[in-house]
């Protein structure tokens, strides 16, 4: 069953990138069960392909073959470098399902697995031939089978993982036979732990196993892997869009699917979980999960250290101002008293005595010394005063400069604070506005989501009702439908006997023509409920592909 739901669709597919009329929906989901297993599957277009309007390059297909009691699952991942790998992936999974349905063996052990790969590769080459004949967009391609095979590897290259599952004879669990070409992976979820079985990543490495080339290349040896699937275990087949972000399974994505798989999810729940968003992982992702009947899954539950910021120490500058003292030359000694000249005495009575003369000289010397000391003291006081004045002047100038700088710093800090406050207020207002817008957008999206889900669910119920009525009529071996939003195509497969010609006709009707030819008058009201255009295609029988059709065989 395929569905193009609005929850998973962001952009349409650019039709210029698709050279085939093959319809590739954004999302496909499938789910069913039989008496020994339950199956859920989904394939989601990745963010990168939604963004550039490229089609989904992943694909998967499932089938139950009651005659052999086999369940067959095929998952393919178109190589991103191949321009039309979405076509290759679709052809590969359908070819694989048809091969295992048509092969004339009764036991899985009898399957020729290399022949299976060759047959799938042959179908890819046939598809390449038809594209070459119908489109000029592929450029010049040679006419030989080798040229076609090389072109198929260039344009349709795809990985493939297949599982053929059967019930054990003792009714205890299942056995799965696996074939992998390329890096798509297989895991078993058991007791809350993911165990890689094939493809994907090495357990001890973060490097993908890309040593196997994709189809239509066929390796020399193709050996299947046989694994048991016991009660309580889940078999997972997926592309690298799921396997790479899963890693070892110990991260958030592994925990998410452990919780999802505690119970068997609905189709929408699986598709919603697979449509996860994670940085750097934008590829298509496909996952198919298989539970043995009566399965119960035990799920066991699942420091970012940022270095402290360091800053360079501040540089401190010491400005040592040296004040050079003023100097003056001081007298080294008191002035010398000159010797007195002898004066002739005419009268001894009037002539001074020697003692008085000596005392007079002493007084003069003392007076001179006192005057010199006083002068020196006055000069020293003046010198000190000048020094103090100079120091006070320098201090006043430095204080004035400091006040000016301090005032400028204060004004700058004030301006910065005002700008910071204004910016904080603006950011707060912007944050509040953004929050209100986000809340309004969230409410709108939730309302649209709920409305679309109701419409989609109602339409699916109508489509399934018509499908079940057609199956119950007993006229058809299988009934399927595709809903592309503008019209619904019902595909009815007639129960023809083996031996009719290959490529039997497909007849297409509108509802009125089909009801007139089949007398299914009851369907008119049911189809009217869909309120959309309905096309009915009636298919005949497709014959068995011969095992002789292998790659490059003339």
Q: Over the stretch 167-209, which tens digit does the pLDDT of each residue have?
A: 988 778 899 999 999 888 999 999 999 999 987 655 444 433 4
Confidence band for 166, pLDDT divided at 50, 70 and 90 = very high
Position with higher pLDDT, 480 vs 530 = 480
DSSP H/E element including 177:
strand 174-181
Position with higher pLDDT, 401 vs 316 = 401
Cα 199 to Cα 159, 191, 475, 505, distances in angstroms: 10, 21, 42, 40
Q: Is beta strand 37-44 parallel, antiparallel or unpaired with respect to 27-33? A: antiparallel
The answer to the question of residue 425 being in a domain is no
Range with lowest mean pLDDT among 22-36, 429-443, 457-471: 457-471
Predicted pLDDT at 347: 44
Name the DSSP class of 109: G
Report pLDDT digits (tens) over 326-359: 333 333 334 444 433 333 434 444 445 666 666 7
Report pLDDT digits (tens) over 350-365: 445 666 666 777 777 7
The answer to the question of residue 426 being in a domain is no
How far apart, in whole angstroms, are the C-alpha atoms of residue 177 and residue 113?
A: 10
The answer to the question of residue 372 being in a domain is no
The answer to the question of residue 128 being in a domain is yes
Rounded to the nearest angstrom, the gap between the alpha carbon of residue 445 and the centroid of all alpha carbons in its chain is 22
pLDDT at 282 over 50: yes
The answer to the question of residue 271 being in a domain is yes
Confidence band for 371, pLDDT divided at 50, 70 and 90 = confident
Boundary residue ending a domain (283, 301, 319)? 301
- DSSP lists the bridge partners of residue 225 as 178
CB-based contacts of 87-90 (< 8 A; 24+ apart in sequence): 87/20, 87/22, 87/127, 87/131, 87/156, 88/124, 88/127, 88/152, 88/155, 88/156, 88/157, 88/158, 88/215, 89/57, 89/58, 89/59, 89/158, 90/22, 90/24, 90/59
Boundary residue ending a domain (258, 277, 301)? 301
pTM for the complete prediction?
0.51
DSSP sequence for 424-468:
HHHHHHHHHHHHHHHHHHHHHHHHHHHHHHHHHHHHHHHHHHHHH
Position with higher pLDDT, 254 vs 172 = 254
Say if CB 74 and CB 90 are below 8 A apart. Answer: no
Predicted pLDDT at 212: 58
| Rg of the chain, C-alpha, whole Å | 49
The answer to the question of residue 365 being in a domain is no
Report pLDDT digits (tens) over 379-401: 778 778 778 888 888 888 888 88
How far apart, in whole angstroms, are the C-alpha atoms of residue 90 and residue 24?
A: 9
CATH code of the domain containing 230 = 3.60.40.10
Mean of pLDDT values over 50-67:
92
Boundary residue ending a domain (253, 280, 301)? 301
The answer to the question of residue 253 being in a domain is yes
- DSSP lists the bridge partners of residue 195 as 188
Total domain count, the chain = 2
Q: Share the mean pLDDT of the chain.
A: 78
Report pLDDT digits (tens) over 206-251: 433 444 589 999 998 999 999 999 999 999 999 999 999 999 999 9
Q: Which of 261-275, 302-316, 471-485 has the highest mean pLDDT?
A: 261-275
Predicted pLDDT at 298: 39
Range(s) of the domain holding residue 219: 6-301
pLDDT at 289 over 50: yes
The answer to the question of residue 41 being in a domain is yes
How far apart, in whole angstroms, are the C-alpha atoms of residue 426 and residue 57?
A: 46
- Which residue in the block uniquely carries the two structure tokens 């679709």? 90
């Amino acid at each position: 069953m395929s569905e193009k739901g609005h929850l998973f669709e962001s952009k349409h597919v650019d039709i210029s990138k698709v050279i085939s009329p093959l319809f590739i929906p954004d999302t496909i989901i499938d789910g069913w069960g039989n008496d020994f297993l339950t199956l859920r599957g989904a394939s989601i277009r990745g963010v990168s392909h939604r963004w550039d309007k490229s089609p989904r390059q992943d694909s998967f297909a499932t089938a139950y073959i009651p005659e052999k009691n086999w369940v067959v699952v095929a998952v393919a991942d178109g190589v991103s470098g191949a321009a039309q790998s979405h076509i290759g992936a679709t052809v590969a999974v359908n070819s694989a399902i048809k091969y295992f349905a048509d092969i004339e063996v009764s036991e899985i052990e009898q399957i020729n697995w290399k022949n299976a790969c060759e047959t799938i590769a042959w179908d890819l080459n046939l598809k390449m031939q038809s594209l070459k004949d119908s489109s000029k967009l592929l450029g010049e391609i040679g006419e030989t089978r080798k040229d076609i095979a090389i072109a198929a590897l260039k344009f349709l290259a795809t990985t493939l993982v297949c599982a053929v599952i059967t019930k054990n004879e003792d009714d205890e669990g299942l056995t799965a036979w696996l074939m992998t070409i390329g890096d798509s992976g297989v895991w078993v979820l058991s007791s809350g732990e993911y165990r890689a079985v094939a493809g994907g990543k090495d357990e001890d490495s973060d490097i993908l196993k890309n040593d196997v080339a994709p189809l239509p290349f066929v390796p020399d040896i193709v050996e299947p892997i046989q694994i048991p699937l016991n009660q309580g275990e889940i078999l997972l087949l997926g592309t690298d869009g799921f396997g790479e972000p899963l890693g070892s399974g110990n991260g958030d994505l592994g925990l998410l699917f452990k919780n999802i798989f505690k119970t068997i999810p609905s189709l929408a729940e699986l598709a919603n979980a697979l449509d996860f968003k994670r940085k750097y992982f934008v590829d298509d992702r496909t996952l198919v999960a298989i539970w043995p009947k009566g399965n119960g899954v035990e799920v066991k539950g699942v420091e970012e250290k940022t270095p402290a910021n360091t800053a360079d120490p501040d540089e401190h500058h010491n400005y040592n101002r040296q004040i050079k003292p003023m100097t003056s030359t001081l007298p080294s000694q008191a002035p010398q008293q000159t010797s007195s000249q002898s004066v002739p005495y005419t009268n001894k009575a009037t002539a001074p005595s020697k003692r008085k003369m000596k005392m007079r000289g002493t007084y003069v010397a003392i007076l001179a010394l006192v005057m010199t000391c006083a002068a020196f003291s006055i000069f020293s006081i003046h010198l000190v005063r000048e020094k103090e004045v100079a120091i006070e002047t320098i201090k006043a100038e430095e204080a004035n400069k400091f006040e000016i700088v301090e005032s400028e710093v204060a004004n700058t800090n004030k301006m910065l604070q005002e700008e910071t406050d204004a910016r904080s207020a603006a950011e707060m207002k912007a944050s509040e506005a953004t929050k209100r817008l986000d809340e309004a957008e969230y409410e709108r999206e939730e309302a649209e989501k709920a409305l679309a889900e109701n419409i989609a669910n109602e339409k699916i119920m109508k489509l399934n009702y018509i499908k079940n009525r057609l199956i119950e009529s007993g006229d058809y071996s299988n009934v399927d439908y595709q809903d592309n939003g503008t019209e619904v195509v019902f595909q009815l497969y007639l129960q023809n006997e083996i031996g009719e010609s290959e490529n039997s006709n497909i007849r297409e009707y509108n509802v009125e023509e089909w009801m007139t030819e089949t007398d299914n008058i009851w369907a008119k009201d049911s189809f009217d409920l869909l309120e959309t255009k309905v096309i009915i295609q009636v298919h005949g029988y497709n014959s068995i592909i011969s095992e002789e059709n292998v790659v490059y065989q003339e």
